[in-house]
Structure 1
Amino acid sequence: MLFKQVYDHIMTRIERGDWNVHDKLPSIRLLALELGINRLTVFKAYQLLKQNGKAYVKEKSGYYVSPENSLPNLYERDVNESIESSAVHLNSKLSDIHRVTAAYQFSQALIDPNLLPNLFLSEYVKKVFDIYPKLMGTYSTPQGDEELRDVLCQYIIRHYRVHLNTSEELITTGAQQAIDLLSRIFIRPMDAILVERPTYSAAIDVFRGQGARLIPVDFSPEGYDLDMVELLMKQHRPRFFYMNPTFHNPTGYTLPITQRKQLVELAERYRCLLIEDDAFHDMYFDERPPQPLFTYDTEGWVVYLRSFSKYVAPGLRICAVFGRKSVIEPLITAKSLADNGTPLVTQKIFVHYFQSERMQQHLEKLRIALQIRRDIMEEELALAPIDWKWITPKGGLNIWLQLPDTVPARTLLNESFRQSISFVPGQICDPLDEMQSWIRLSYSFVNEEQIRAGVQQLAEIAQRIKER
């Protein structure tokens, strides 16, 4: 609820010293005006502060910071206790699920290592060290290896006929880092941002960690309700709209081409940055997906995140961020502070393999293999006695499955863990923390035999829950 986010925002500012013990907090009217929210929301947050002993009231004066928030002398406290209480609390619900060991890993939206060109890639590793014998003795620049940036920039220009140069590109250590860096640059506490509902759960955790106010935008097989998107942009003036419009994670849906240009026009009109996360663009089955929203952008309102290594060698962690200099320049600074540059060795290995003929051959075979695994998973789901529903994805790595009301996702997950099966519950993909009847099943990480056995066991567990 929004008033709880306001509560957390005030507590964060108290903890970092913006307001000290017995300091007067801003009036309800002033804080509501500052945050751009309703006064009643701030009132509820202040009431919760009072209830929890974090603030007290002076009649006809206002709310003040409670002395209960003062810290004892650090020298009188246990060192471990001091560190623990000083640490920022972070959440990563998806990581928590991935840490559970399972024989049937339906939670991992990764490519089965057996489908990757491991032996062929090892030849390129040797080749790279022959070409660059001193490779391990130097850093990349924070912006990324110039050779790699040039190759990927030319790739985008050739495929989408856009005006672009290497100064408008940054290499990050995976798309996850790009999302984190963008959130650090553009989000201030209680800033409104638009996110799809559902969306990539790790992004939700990143944005909440920065104190963002998440405004959900429903995403369906037909796309967005653009009238509602315009209303939300007009009403909340969001800092950005984070989206995954092509083979969407977790649903597998793809935003229709008719909406892409319209959405860019809305972004320009309301000065709302679009962050387009495109991790699965090349993982299509029947036909190529529409061009990225980035190709319709002429005014610099789209930042394009393109993951390239996920379907070649995920361990290389190569993502290219494309955008205008107004975005890329602060990103370079943030990147330099984060890690001073993605490892040069991984960039060089990737750039040489990316340019090879074998790369395209690999992609064609990989698409066939993934389509076969999707078909096997759908076949087993259809054979199960459970009335679950889904829409066949045209690409990507996941099936978004709706459970019957009699099978709660949380109960199914807990019992599946005990049977060494993992998946992603829809609730953690929902900015409203609802969607308890949905789960994400990834068909890309386990082989055909494991898919059949795992889905059959999952169906048996669901059936037992249903019959209780």
Structure 2
Amino acid sequence: MTKVFLSGAGSKPLFEQVYEYICTRIQRGEWKDDEKLPSVRELAAELEVHRLTVFKAYQLLKDARLVYVKDKSGYYVHPGNRLPFRDIDSPIVSSYIQKSHLSEIHRVPATYQFSYALIDPNLLPNRYFSEYVKEIFDLYPKVLSSYSTVQGDEELLETLSCYFTDRHRFHLPPEDIMITSGSQQAISLVAHMLVQPLDTVLIERPTYSAAIDIFRQQGAQIIPIDIHPHGYDLDQLEQVMKQFKPRLFYLNPTFHNPTGYTVPAAQRKRLVEMAEENRCFLVEDDPFHDMYFQQEPPAPLFTYGTEGYVIYIRSFSKYIAPGLRIAAICCRPVLMNHLFAVKSLADNGTPLLNQKVFHYYFTSKRLQQHIEKLRIALHIRKNILEEELAKTDWKWHSPAGGLNLWVELPDTLSLDALLAKSIEQSVSFVPGSICDPAKRADSWIRLSYSYINEQLLRDGARRLIRIADELERETKR
């Protein structure tokens, strides 16, 4: 039986999930002290559950003194039950135990930084950027005096339309593209547009941790779908789609974060067919498509979509200019019109200067030279990390592209202890549970080989292995 997860909890009765949903809204301050809550009938209609389910949730809240009852009037928020702000000293405690947010792990300073799935700034064309930014102001002297449209700069949209058509045979007109401030914003916009509280959302297990947080924040019921080196169990996935009627499936099928797996072309076509048959949107997050080492990956799922059920998110931030935060959402007009409304509320348009700078570089010959050199550099760094890890009994699948290794540790090694000791010795990595919608994956870690240089990479890997060996010896004593 597939388990359903809401807000990180395990499989629970529906009334307990509604209880947690109400608690969250009270603790966020959406319902104030002594404010009247929706009636049982109103909340049941909003969440599309039985009234008895809401009634049982309210009884739990009453027993916990989170709400109180006024005769013939209804339920009210009990004063004094908002969560206080806590200044937690250790970001590791905050992230790993309490919140499991990747951003908290990133706050930890470390010499050997394996937690950043970012490109080493020294591999980016910084001097070239500084030289041509002035040319942008010469070409567009009023660029700082103008807003972009909500959809994005027309010149950039036209260029991306041609790019997608030439590269992937999308035949995508500019009006079907919207520029966003990075892929994380794109995921958030899609979630706000499509997901209502208690909607079912499929997410790969493991996956990009920020996506888990975004869909949880929308109140989604999350069903994890295991991803393997060969892709998905399509029979299982089809059964889940038929049984739970999910609103969407968020997936990262190309050089997947964190595993590095790539879903084969044959599965991609069938995935789109299944989505169309079950009216389930596929939200395809594709930030690493150009970061292949030898062979170019299969075409995006969007290539196969004919009914409008695939939403394609393409980020260029990782390997072109992270500071510009440029990504694109591609979808059909019926969805794009709704996205415009959500985007206008978020920021009313990605900064025009960022788009112009990106466009100028994206259309230059220098870009292709940069990407080719970057692939070589990343391939070398991946090989260095694998050389060092080969001295252990740890297990991983060697990716054909991307920025990460997804490494399985021995069962005898405590991940909690390894994380704590590593941080003490200036080594940072991402614990697997942060990437797991079910908060398991206790024997896995994500090591990113893209951010630190070759010598630091080798030294850091050796230090991490030494820490692990010391912990295992202590366990055996």
Q: What TM-score do you get using the length of structure 1 for normalisation?
A: 0.89
Supply the distance in 1 between the matched residues of 2:250 and 2:155 (Cα, whole angstroms).
29
Q: Is 199-208 or 1-10 further displaced after alignment?
A: 1-10
The answer for the alignment partner of 1:219 in structure 2 is 227
Is the 1:393–1:399 Cα contact (8 Å) retained in structure 2?
yes
**Contact preservation (8 Å) 1:425, 1:438:** yes
* Alpha-carbon distance between aligned partners in 2 of 1:101 and 1:22, rounded to the nearest angstrom: 44
Assess if the C-alpha contact under 8 Å between 2:399 and 2:405 holds in 1.
Answer: yes
Deviation track 1:157-214 (CA, whole Å, cap 9, x = no partner) reads 0112222111100000000100111111111111110000000001111111111111
- 1:465 is matched with 471
| Cα distance change on mapping 1:392 and 1:56 into 2, 3 Å | same
In structure 2, relative to structure 1, the CA distance for the partners of 1:32 and 1:389 (3 Å cut) is farther
Match of 2:205 in 1: 197
Corresponding residue for residue 419 of structure 1: 425
Count of residue pairs brought into register by the alignment:
448
Query: Helix, strand or coil for the counterpart of 1:215?
Result: strand
Correspondence for 2:40: 25
Q: Is the 8 Å Cα contact of residues 91 and 205 (structure 1) preserved in structure 2?
A: no
Using a 3 Å threshold, how does the CA distance of structure 1 residues 228 and 51 change in structure 2: closer, same or farther?
farther
Give me the whole-angstrom Cα distance separating, in 2, the residues matched to 1:196 and 1:13.
27
How far residue 51 of structure 1 moved from its aligned partner, in angstroms, is 4.6
Paired residue for 2:48?
A: 34
What TM-score do you get using the length of structure 2 for normalisation? 0.87
1:196 is paired with a residue whose SS is strand
- SS of the aligned residue for 2:262 comes to coil
1:182 aligns with 2:218: no
Residue number among 341, 364, 367 corresponding to 2:372 in the alignment: 364
Q: Do residues 270 (structure 1) and 278 (structure 2) align? A: yes
Q: Deviations over 1:262-283 (max 9, x none)?
A: 0000111111110000000000
| Inter-CA distance 45–427: structure 2 relative to 1 (3 Å threshold) | farther
- Decide whether the 8 Å contact of 2:67 with 2:78 is kept in 1: no
Cα deviation for residue 45 of structure 1 reads: 5.1
Read off the aligned partner of 1:34 and give its amino acid letter.
E
Structure 2, gaps ≥5 residues long: 1-9, 87-97
Matched residues in 2 for 1:6 and 1:187: separation?
Answer: 16
Range moving further from structure 2, 435-444 or 133-142: 133-142
- Offset at residue 439 of structure 1 (A): 0.3
- State the secondary structure of the residue aligned to 1:407: coil
Q: 1:387 to 1:442 in 2, by over 3 A?
A: same
Q: Percent identity?
A: 56
Equivalent position to 2:459, from 453, 459, 462: 453
Give 1:24 deviation, angstroms.
5.7
Structure 2 residue matching 1:455: 3-state secondary structure? helix
* Aligned position for 1:308: 316
Matched residue type, 1:52: A
Q: Please, what is the CA RMSD of the aligned residues? A: 3.0
Question: Does the Cα contact within 8 Å between 1:35 and 1:191 map onto a contact in 2?
Answer: no
Structure 1 pair 118–27 and aligned structure 2 pair: CA distance change class (3 A): closer
CA distance in 2, matches of 1:107, 1:197: 19
Q: 1:106 to 1:43 in 2, by over 3 A?
A: farther
Query: Residue 82 of structure 1: CA displacement?
Result: 10
Pairing of 1:86-105 with structure 2 (within 5 A): 93-105=101-113
The amino acid of 2:201's aligned partner reads: I
Aligned to 1:354: 362
Pair 1:435 & 2:441 matched:
yes
Report the CA distance between 1:26 and its aligned residue. 5.0
One of 408, 411, 416 as aligned partner of 1:410: 416
- Secondary structure in 1 matching 2:148: coil
Match of 2:405 among 360, 374, 399: 399
1:309–1:350: 8 Å Cα contact kept in structure 2? no
Gaps of 5+ in 1: none
Give the structure 1 partner of residue 337 of structure 2. 329
Q: Contact between 1:32 and 1:42, CA under 8 Å: does it hold in 2?
A: no
Aligned to 2:6: none
Pick from 116, 125, 135 the counterpart of residue 127 of structure 1: 135
2: CA distance between counterparts of 1:144 and 1:6? 39
Q: Is 1:173 the equivalent of 2:188?
A: no
- Rounded to whole Å, the distance in 2 between the matches of 1:415 and 1:132 is 52
Taking structure 1 as reference, are residues 166 and 454 closer, same or farther at Cα in structure 2, changes over 3 Å only? same
Cα contact 2:40–2:55 (8 A) shared by 1: no
Letter in 2 for 1:404: P
Q: Distance in 1 between matches of 2:39 and 2:378?
A: 60
Residue in 1 that maps onto 2:94:
none
1:352-375 Cα deviation digits (max 9, x unpaired):
111111111111110000000000
